Amino acid sequence: MIRLLLAPFIFVIHTSLQIANLALWGSLIIVLGFIKLALPKGKIRAQWNTVMHGCMFAFGRISVRLIQLFNRVTIVRNIHGELAKEGWYLIIANHLSYLDIVLLIDFANKRIPAPKFFLKKELIWLPFVGLGAWALDMPFMHRYTKKYLAKYPERRGKDLATTKAYCQKFKTVPTTVINFVEGTRFTPLKHKIRNSSYTHLLPPKAGGVSFTLAAMGELFTNVLDISLLYPENRRHPMMAMLSGQMTKIIIDVEVKAVPELQQEGKRAEAEFRLYFQQWLNTLWQDKDHRINKLLELK
């Protein structure tokens, strides 16, 4: 009851500190990013990227510490399999909140290589986040509607070209590529509108992640199927966290073999995408069942 009464004050203080943390590390990454433009490609730039990734990890670590400071929260990290800093990983995760990004950055620290998120183009204008992500070589994706593509058909396939271009960059150093295959954050309304056949998930989209596998499949050590859950704060996890009401976070990681679909280079892109969508649908069904069990155990 006392924490509920203090929620507005906790919200103001906690939000201010989270913004300050983002502003500090985001600004530093942006400055380092502009300096990087003048550096020659090769070992020097690679070392510079390591410094910038260190700043990103520091942001994630401090942000999670603030969450723990202002919330009586238990963070459960279930890792089913082995991880290594020297590998290449493809993370396929569900998406509930912007909080997911902070948690995945913190999870990657000292476990796997620095993560690269596929971000919506609109986020480029978000203070500190947009330019910071650009400086860290994260791809920005358009989200064209069917109506827009019907009017401008030449824009069709633009995201796939972007995916392929960034995959070439990711080949040079161990990398973790993160894709929220639902394409947007889960809400009950979106679940209803999309007529989802899953209980806790939106239907997955094969698009960009299938081309990531096609371009880099031979490099990936594993696919990490990550389920993010806020079992007692499911409706508004971000607000609950900022207000000191977050009680439990579950990060469940299944280390899976890379599907062999991308090995079959004779397949046409359309055929490969169809096969991959079937693989992804099966993974999503298993994920839905696993989430249901995790929520039952809360």
The per-residue pLDDT for range 82-126, each reduced to its tens digit, is: 999 988 999 999 999 999 999 999 999 999 999 998 777 777 888
Domain ranges of the chain: 2-296
What is the mean predicted confidence (pLDDT) over 278-284?
91
Q: Rounded to two decimals, what is the model's pTM?
A: 0.88
Are 219 and 86 contacting, i.e. CB atoms less than 8 angstroms apart? no
Instruction: Compute the radius of gyration of the chain from its Cα atoms.
Output: 19
End-to-end CA separation in angstroms for the chain: 22
pLDDT at 163 over 70: no
d(CA 32, CA 22): 15
pLDDT on residue 123:
79
What is the mean predicted confidence (pLDDT) over 205-233?
84
The per-residue pLDDT for range 183-201, each reduced to its tens digit, is: 889 999 999 999 999 999 9
| CATH 3.40.1130, applies to 2-296 | yes
pLDDT on residue 171:
74
DSSP 153-193: GGGTTHHHHHHHHHHHHHTSS--EEEEETTSS---HHHHHH
pLDDT on residue 161:
67
Q: Which residues contact 49 (CB under 8 A, 6 or more apart)?
A: 36, 114, 136, 137, 173
Q: Which of 56-70, 218-232, 274-288 has the highest mean pLDDT?
A: 56-70
pLDDT range class, residue 146, cuts 50, 70, 90: low
pLDDT on residue 121:
78
pLDDT at 145 over 70: no
C-alpha pair distances (Å), 100 with each of 69, 97, 117, 227: 18, 6, 11, 10
d(CA 89, CA 45): 22
pLDDT at 267 over 60: no
pLDDT at 245 over 90: yes
3-state secondary structure of 243: coil
d(CA 206, CA 146): 17
Q: What percent of the chain has pLDDT over 70?
A: 85
The per-residue pLDDT for range 268-278, each reduced to its tens digit, is: 666 777 778 88
- Which among 92, 294, 52 is positioned nearest to 205, based on CA atoms? 92
pLDDT at 165 over 80: no
112-143: burial string, b at 16+ Cβ within 10 Å, e else: bbbbbbbbeeebeebebbbbbbbbbbbbbbee
pLDDT range class, residue 173, cuts 50, 70, 90: confident
For the ranges 66-80, 165-179, 239-253, 279-293, which has the lowest average pLDDT? 165-179
